[in-house]
Structure 1
Amino acid sequence: MTAPVLTPITQALNAGVLTRQELKALMVRSDVPALKHLALWIMLVLSTGSLIHLTYGSVWMWAAMFLHGVVLVHHFSLQHECCHYTVFRTRWLNDLVGNICAIIIMLPNRHFRYEHCDHHTYTQLKGDDPELIELPRSLGGYLWYLSSLPYWRSKFTELGRHTFGHLSKEEERFIPKEERQTIFWEARLMLVAYVAIGGFCIATHWWGPVIYWWGPVLLGEPVMRFIRMTEHVGKPNVRDMTENTRTNYVTRPMRFLAWNMNYHAEHHYAASVPFHALPALHEKLKGHVAVESRGYIGAHIDILAQLFGRKHRCDATKGN
């Protein structure tokens, strides 16, 4: 019989580098760190939005929209933490903020929560992980994914499917039957909101939502695709968490935007640890974590090396 794979947390506990009391302390949730972070977050969103206003009508407006978009698409990081109920100690605050983020980036919150639960259960396992991003088969496939066009096609298709009361075969696996009507109404309400805002823009000739919201999100989403690839892409399709997930060392501003989700391996090891305690958990788990010291760029260097290496191996095989 094959011995069970020990989780990194269990390994750390067994090795004495982390005690159960320390882990329990790290798992304590609090509204205070999140409210402080959120206050700075709102100030940042207003600041980057103001740059669009200040550069309106000039060529620099596109740069401002892109910068604002990079901040807006990072609402994914905040929503992700809210779906784990680890941002705030107060449960309804997680739901409220998570649903606001959902509207901003068109990611229905209840659906995402169920999908993400299966991602944690079946991380990197083909056919089971609903968020699995495959290692691209070519440079064209790599760039196609980074363009975010496949992502938006998937999101619009998903929204339309749910609006008409349908689930994909994959969704039927992870969404409980008793929750399916909630998923459908979530999509319908989101679509109604978007149509109402769009209709208002057309009727009044006021394009604020396009300039300060939808346009920037479209411009910024490739950056989020770039970051999402660094979490698991190129890692083995195995159950062992020490092998299937990366932690990326990034600058403090990027850590702020990511709500510390660059410590992604630690998050998978102990998903109940709040965002503000992940750096401390990382310090405890050094030596038990797959770290990319070169950050997001380094992760992509690794991904591209694997991509071209695989292509080279395939070409060599054909030559034989």
Structure 2
Amino acid sequence: MKGSQVEGTKVSATGHREFLASLTPQQKKRLTEKSNRKGIAALALHAGAILVLGSLIAAKVPFWPLLMVPQGVAIIFLFTTLHETIHRTAFATPSVNDAVARLCGFLILLPAEWFRYFHFAHHRHTQDPERDPELARPKPETIGQYVAHISGFPVWARQVATIVRNAIRGTRDDYVPPAARQQVMREARNMLALYALLAAISAVAGSAILLYVWIIPAIIGQPFLRLYLLAEHGRCAFVANMFENSRTTFTNRLVRRLAWSMPYHAEHHAFPGVPFHRLPDLHKLTAGYLQETEDGYARFNGRYVRSLSG
């Protein structure tokens, strides 16, 4: 599934390692420059949208149930904020990255410390069927599997199971180093305790506000994230070259902002140390090397569905 908006001349069969080797030290330094200012501005826009929409829902303004759709999209796309912060590229200050990662993970039921190790294994072994943890559950191959995948319910079930399992007996995932397993267990237990506390407070107060401003919107928003994430590697080659095993999707500025520039996904995999605000600059350098691109998420998913069996 290749799009038509790649700029420049295609440099076929060139791998990401060769591309990285071609960059000068000055280019690498500029591309990997982190910024608290850029990160805070992006977070303020994202969190501000959630707070404004949540306030309108809580106030039950006219047609407030309709606002749960954009609220859900904004909440569930905190996954991309979590993703950027576990790489510690959202902000220049590591502790700020870690604090924001924990908050985002809590809001979308995805423990940040555990996910860091899961995701870094995905980066080390991208599209390796034997070692990439994202491929432990294959991509949909039938219409039924696609519908189930897009619904988001399987991922909610897996995330709840992961938190509970990590809290009770700890993680046994081989990509989590032994030295970190106690911390992963503590993280899961803290998350469960906070969820229980919020549930108890809501019950005592007789309030369903969290249901309408957080839980239901997140469930509604999950399919949008599934559609987005499927484009990152779906139908990409099982090879080591990040320009072939990852896809860049051309989209509008709103989606790029919401997703913290992650539509430039092949670029991110080629050079993970580049923060979100520098990915457009990296794209200008990699555009001629990209092997997998698509013109929008609707187009990608339309093609994906047509490739499925009944």
* Equivalent residues of 1:13, 1:20 under 8 A apart: no
How far, CA to CA, are the matches of 2:180 and 2:47 in structure 1?
32
Is residue 10 of structure 1 aligned with residue 18 of structure 2? yes
How far, CA to CA, are the matches of 1:211 and 1:85 in structure 2?
31
Q: Which amino acid aligns with 2:112?
A: N
Shift of 1:165: 1.6
How far, CA to CA, are the matches of 1:238 and 1:62 in structure 2?
45
Specify every segment of 5 or more residues in structure 1 that has no aligned partner in the other structure, as ranges: 312-320
What is aligned with 2:138? 134
* Equivalent residues of 1:135, 1:303 under 8 A apart: no
Q: Which amino acid aligns with 1:52?
A: I
Picking from 63, 66, 73, the partner of 1:70 is 73
What is aligned with 1:273? 274
What is aligned with 1:314? none
* Equivalent residues of 1:12, 1:285 under 8 A apart: no
Picking from 4, 13, 19, the partner of 2:24 is 19
Is residue 187 of structure 1 aligned with residue 169 of structure 2? no
SS in 2 for 1:286: helix
* Equivalent residues of 2:171, 2:184 under 8 A apart: no
How far, CA to CA, are the matches of 1:127 and 1:53 in structure 2?
47
Q: Which amino acid aligns with 2:27?
A: E
Aligned residues: 297
What is aligned with 1:87? 90
Q: 1:291 to 1:126 in 2, by over 3 A?
A: closer
What is aligned with 1:200? 201
* Equivalent residues of 2:244, 2:292 under 8 A apart: no
* Equivalent residues of 2:73, 2:222 under 8 A apart: yes
1:1-320 to 2 correspondences below 5 Å? 7-11=15-19, 13-14=21-22, 18-53=23-58, 55=60, 60-132=63-135, 134-168=138-172, 171=173, 173-308=174-309
Shift of 1:90: 0.6
Q: Which amino acid aligns with 1:152?
A: W
Q: Which amino acid aligns with 1:34?
A: G
How far, CA to CA, are the matches of 2:52 and 2:198 in structure 1?
23
How far, CA to CA, are the matches of 1:6 and 1:287 in structure 2?
10
How far, CA to CA, are the matches of 1:298 and 1:9 in structure 2?
30
How far, CA to CA, are the matches of 1:266 and 1:230 in structure 2?
14
Specify every segment of 5 or more residues in structure 2 that has no aligned partner in the other structure, as ranges: 1-12
Shift of 1:10: 2.1
How far, CA to CA, are the matches of 1:126 and 1:207 in structure 2?
43
* Equivalent residues of 1:12, 1:288 under 8 A apart: no
* Equivalent residues of 2:251, 2:263 under 8 A apart: yes
SS in 1 for 2:138: coil
TM-align CA RMSD:
1.8
Shift of 1:12: 6.1
How far, CA to CA, are the matches of 1:272 and 1:123 in structure 2?
16
TM-score (normalizing by structure 1): 0.88
TM-score (normalizing by structure 2): 0.90
Q: 1:50 to 1:244 in 2, by over 3 A?
A: same
* RCO higher in structure (CA 8 A, sep ≥6): 2
SS in 2 for 1:174: coil
How far, CA to CA, are the matches of 2:83 and 2:102 in structure 1?
11
Greater mean alpha carbon deviation, residues 212-221 or residues 292-301:
292-301
SS in 1 for 2:133: coil
% of aligned pairs identical? 32
How far, CA to CA, are the matches of 1:136 and 1:198 in structure 2?
35
Shift of 1:54: 5.1
* Equivalent residues of 1:134, 1:233 under 8 A apart: no
Structure having the higher Rg = 1
* Equivalent residues of 1:86, 1:273 under 8 A apart: yes
* Equivalent residues of 2:243, 2:292 under 8 A apart: no
* Equivalent residues of 1:292, 1:298 under 8 A apart: no
SS in 2 for 1:307: coil
How far, CA to CA, are the matches of 1:131 and 1:51 in structure 2?
37
